[in-house]
Structure 1
Amino acid sequence: MIDIRLLRDDPDTVRASQRARGEDDAVVDSVLAADERRRSSLTAFERLRAEQKAMGKDVAKAQGDEKQALLARTKELAAEVKSLSAAADEAQAELDRLMRTIGNVVEPEVPAGGEDDYVVVEEVGTPRDFAAEGFEPKDHLTLMEGLDAVDMERGAKVSGARFYFLKGAGARLEMGLLRMGMDRALENGLVPMVTPTLVKPSVMAGAGFIDHHADEVYRLEADDLYLIGTSEVALAGYHADEVLDLASGPLRYAGQSTCYRREAGSYGKDTRGIIRVHQFNKIEMFVYCRPEEAQAEHERLLGMEKDILGALGLPFRVIDTAAGDLGDPAARKYDCEAWVPSQGRHRELSSTSNCTTFQARRLNTRYRGESGNEVAATLNGTLATTRWMVAILENHQQADGSVVLPEALRPYVGLDVLTPVR
């Protein structure tokens, strides 16, 4: 959540952020009102508690009618103190609820607007001219079926729609891609992690994933646990309620996990193939740092994403995501979108978000600062995931349905060319 002090001292900045996100800025006034009720109740509570304590001494000294009057007042005070305590608790609960409805304050440079209001920051590579090569590009599912690399039918039979089996070359390609991503993480000094895929409600909420999008998350009611949609969630909770030593620099992790997403509200969208599925694998980078280091770390994560996509020979662009398309925790997000020939458009492959202190404040993750413990900043970014196979297969396909793998990926897959079997 955002810092209540920012909301008190500079409510107009929060209002502007809410408007940029396309959200109601009236919540700012509601928060300020709840905060004032809480503080007023606490002030009155403390005043009456002090009077209550002082009166205890007076009662011990008094006698007769004076003592009876003091005892009667003591009872009145006890009732008033209890009432004020309840009022303060109620105001605190309302304040907490309202604060969790406010997304992170977006950075000033972030474009306002919704999904289509992004700004293209950079374009890398040039899409192939398949017409000049004399053939129409196949989509990734047609290619994978020809390679006997996927079985969608049996995936649906076993688990339902949007599940699948990767097999043969498909399984090798995914495992090789993930290994390549982890090797890149190691080369850049990130600590490799294999994370839990089930987390407590406090961690899922702390990471900022169930305030507005709970319908996207799988929940195991019998155990009161959530399945993660990214290892970002588990890594955000890794240092919850801790004070970090960042004297030697940021803590940088690379988490590998299976990820689960309900894809609620996406019915009819990307139902063909493995673009939008319920289960996939991913390497996710996660950083803890001082707030003043967050912007540089964000550029560093973006640079790592660009490097690996370039090594995979994919034409892609980097976009600065508009405020209305940011998740609640992100103050700024860059997406890397690869060209998908069969669709004739760019599709998101990776993103990297600067969450500033939003997640760490919720999860009580601090670091030792010069003047005491301060709230840390967190960032995340994707370094490899199953969806990347779509762009790799389509951009490197040949007229006969084979796929020539990019040179950097070949050692990890153990093949230079994926050859059709049917």
Structure 2
Amino acid sequence: MQQETILRIESHAALVGIIGLGYVGVPLAARAARAGFRVLGFDVDATRVARINRGESYTLDVPGEVMAALVREGRLSASDDFTRLRECDVILICVPTPLDRHGQPDISAIERAGDAIAAALRPGHLIVLESTTWPGTTDEVLLPRCAARGLQVGRDFWLAFSPERIDPGQTNSQGWTVENTPKVVGGVTPQCTEVAGAFYRQIVQRVVAVSSARTAEMTKLVENIFRNVNIALVNELALLCDRMGLNIWEILDAAATKPFAFMKHTPGPGLGGHCIPLDPFYLSWKAREYDFHTRFIELAGHVNNEMPYHVKTLIIRALNRRGKSLNGATVVLLGVAYKPDIDDYRESPVFKIMALLEAEGARVLAVDPHITTFVDHHGRELQTTPLSDELLGAADCVAIITNHSAFDYERIVRLASVVVDTRNATRNVREGRDKIVLL
């Protein structure tokens, strides 16, 4: 059975099913289809399914013309009928794993996907979880559901974990994509690792096999915790430099000239995205099972969570320069997305900043060239405001939250009364630097 499955994969006769058509699932589906597989995507969102089947892309990582061609050629389609999982030979799980309102891991989407797979399980299935989670999820959550069908893992079906490493907003000409990013793979058994590795070698340039699914799960968390802790370090240094009257950006640029033993991270208004603000706390939660407290991770979280409050302080400081109070002021926030040049606003720090400013009586307008409507943390559906000379001139304060390349920073500084720059986006602006308040 194992060799038959590998042969089916290597000949590209296997049908690839992808559960979850979001920022991870769609680029992965497109890559598998472009590599020669037929791909069937699954999602509970009927709107997403319909858009895929019309050949529309709703993520910047897959150009519309690429999506349209794959659908037109019959390489890619989508469905909300999860009984069709039985048709698939390879099933990849790419569902969201957020934290709940109490800060606890929410793997309910993985559990639902596991139930759907178990109901459709047959001999020959390869199942791979890509969603970030705590070490042990594949073995403790997915395996029991599948094994309950009476099939034996490593003989009748194969189960593995391979963490997604999506960097939204990248293309082949710009940076790391699904194809050229090394893929870590760890199976529940060695046979599972072998079969999963055989699949990923068809769609990525390099596969890194590890000893177990738990090892692969931990690898993903270590990657994100590394960034989380280092960002917290420079954020804390930024807070200190602010009190000392030092420019943290100049200091970091100088430190980065050291050719060894230093990796530059930069401060910001707070963490955003689907990984760094959330994933470290999956490990903190799981560590308690072993009577272990991840103090660095929790401390980093506290420091990073303070940054939106510091941005509010900087805005108050900027307004004070002009004899204005925050109450009644019009504040324009440039950037809703959590990183430059994308339309993804998951966990963006802008929402906390908006809430803090509004609580003090400010009128807050958000501007983003990539986003027209968004839903904030209160569930409100809001619209962004088009950037104009009139808007910049009328604002009491303009704050740069996301350093989109589409923004003309010289124009912004020239027309605004005062600018709070949380990203050092105005580094090359020469005129009007007395208007700029740097994080």
What's the TM-score, normalizing by structure 2? 0.23
Name the structure, 1 or 2, with higher relative contact order (CA <8 Å, separation 6+).
1
Q: Which has the larger radius of gyration?
A: 1
Q: Which structure: greater strand fraction?
A: 1
What's the TM-score, normalizing by structure 1? 0.24
